[in-house]
Structure 1
């Protein structure tokens, strides 16, 4: 179901798929003055005895489900990086991080909502191994990317941001934004954590919201220079999953 609190309207979407559908996010056709919204997700299918993700789009304008032909994706030997919890929407398109199993290279993959195709977008500056580091994608300044990489052993963090506004992915330049090395800093878990960075008159700042997996207690961490402030979020009874809002369907 999709709800518009402003208009007090709720739309229920009937699922016409044979397999369970996992919702990942929402995008829109940015080429039109009237935004045509689509939701994006995947189901699991088998091909040549191998299980793989089959990507699906639901178009609000036509009320139709559509599978994306992704046979090429299967042959690319890539692995998605927590697609459901490590993805962002920018300029109507949907982006997430992926990993090439043959070269060890990290990159961003994009779903072009207008063309309804999935393709590589740009290379990530991350160098840590997939088994020892966590990578998280976020939006920076509303029109750029930031990527956070954390060592699972030391919890040290490196953050990069793109130098220019995001366009077609051909001239993306990454610059190192900040490093975080703080004793007893929490681990970043995709399901239960979100972060953002900013650079203003107060300096470079990292804000991270997360909950501890054992206790379920939620905290907000604010890091600026050598300062780290932890704010407890009360009345959170158990583990939660961080979420962000999407534009209303007006």
Structure 2
């Protein structure tokens, strides 16, 4: 600890002699693992490392994760598209990934009967086995107890959150259970509240893994396949209760080769992308206000952008195989960046600005067709339940 104190004193002294802009630029070249340890240098550094703009500028930042039958990859976008190989960092658990899901700070990697919670930027992962009493369950997402504090919970240090996973499986009826990261305790989920039943889960939930916002998970759902509008189903991890019809979406699916993807927008809102498989027209909606985790009655969807680009490809290449072939995307200011596979299974990155396709790049370094993929925004939050390092101590 004395050596750490000496480094801290020297670093603070040195940064006082350098312009802050230069300090920031130097730190963008530092490895993520070192940045975690540097949190204790001073409060200003700790605040900087929580700034997404700083993370975006780090030289090792990436935006997409892809996995094939044999390899895993990260894809950086700026200043150019770069593909690098990754490892899951769990011995002998590299293969047979069935689904990838972006859960804010972490990735959820679902295998057949097990799962891994992974921070690929910090090279940390934690393996989770299914409940031994019901080994047929599969993981559907990760969230945390928000104590009904809504957006104020976002200010809570991520290391202090009480993370849980949600699992489901069929045993004469759909069984839902939560698993607490800290206590390793499994609990049966309380009955659903709302105006629909999730008893026939496969017919109602459009996606298997939910989208995480403020600790809660949200799924695109429908009453039946003739629904003109879809809606969101919400799992509140504080009460461990499902709520049906949190809010309606501004559209329905209409055809299995239409793209329909829900994402978090600007950290506290939702965005929804839909592409018509016939016209290739893309419509993007965003929610007008911050999402209130307790009530979706005030959700208002606005048309963010409508794109009709000549010769633009379809983003869902296979019929009746969604959501595995649905595109991954993120919105950065006025730029839309997408990852999807073509009809042969080869992955591509598309960058759209305004109503123009700025770049289209095939990821030739990715071996094997039809990779799973998802967006990922790097984070300095350690995987819950792992060993606490010196650099994770709270800054005074």
**TM-score, L = length of structure 1:** 0.82
8 Å CA contact retained: 1:54, 1:70: no
Structure of higher RCO (CA pairs closer than 8 Å, 6+ residues apart): 2
Deviation sequence 1:155-183 (CA, Å, 0-9, x none)? 22111000111113120111001112223
SS at match of 1:176: strand
Show the counterpart of 1:46: 172
What is the CA-CA distance between 1:127 and the residue it aligns to? 4.4
Gaps of 5+ in 2: 1-115, 148-152, 317-322, 385-396
- C-alpha displacement at 1:107, in angstroms? 0.4
Q: Does the CA contact (< 8 Å) of 2:315 and 2:342 recur in 1?
A: no
Q: How far off is 1:45 after superposition?
A: 2.9
How far apart, CA to CA, are the structure 2 residues paired with 1:9 and 1:148? 31
Q: Distance in 1 between matches of 2:121 and 2:262?
A: 29
Offset of residue 2 of structure 1: 3.9
Aligned equivalents of 1:9, 1:132: Cα separation in 2: 36
* Contact preservation (8 Å) 1:28, 1:35: yes
Q: Which of these two proteins has the greater Rg computed from alpha carbons?
A: 2
Q: Secondary structure at the match of 1:95?
A: strand
2:312 is aligned, of 185, 192, 195, to 185
Alpha carbons 1:159, 1:177 under 8 Å: kept: yes
Change (3 A) 1:41 1:187: farther
Q: 3-state DSSP class of the match of 2:208?
A: coil
The answer to whether the aligner puts 1:27 opposite 2:143 as a matched pair is: yes
For the pair 1:173 / 2:288, whether they are aligned, the reply is no
Corresponding residue for residue 93 of structure 1: 216
Task: State whether structure 2 residue 382 is matched by structure 1 residue 248.
Answer: yes
Secondary structure in 2 matching 1:27: strand
* 8 Å CA contact retained: 2:178, 2:189: yes
**Residues 1-250 of structure 1 aligned to structure 2 (within 5 Å):** 1-2=116-117, 11-15=126-130, 16-31=132-147, 33=156, 34-47=160-173, 53-70=174-191, 72-74=197-199, 79-84=204-209, 87-101=210-224, 104-119=228-243, 120-131=245-256, 133-167=258-292, 168-189=295-316, 190-192=323-325, 193-199=327-333, 204-214=334-344, 216-228=345-357, 229-238=359-368, 239-245=370-376, 247-250=381-384
* Greater fraction helix: 2
Deviations 1:159-216 (A, max 9, x none): 10001111131201110011122233233343242111233xxxx22110112252x3
CA shift at 1:132, angstroms?
6.3
Query: 1:115-162 CA deviation, whole Å, 9 max, x = no partner?
Result: 101113111111452556332100111110001112122222111000
Which structure 1 residue ranges, 5 or more long, are not aligned? 48-52
Whichever structure has more strand as a proportion of its residues is 1
1:78–1:169 CA distance, 2 compared to 1 (3 A): farther
Which secondary structure state, in structure 2, belongs to the residue aligned with residue 109 of structure 1? strand
* Secondary structure at the counterpart of residue 166 of structure 1: coil
**Conserved? CA contact 2:265–2:271, under 8 Å:** yes
- Work out the number of aligned pairs and report it: 238
- The residue number in structure 2 matching 1:50 is none
Q: CA RMSD in A?
A: 2.8
TM-score (norm 2): 0.54
Q: In 2, Cα distance between the equivalents of 1:56 and 1:244?
A: 26
Task: Confirm or deny: 8 A CA contact 2:125 2:383 kept in the other structure.
Answer: no
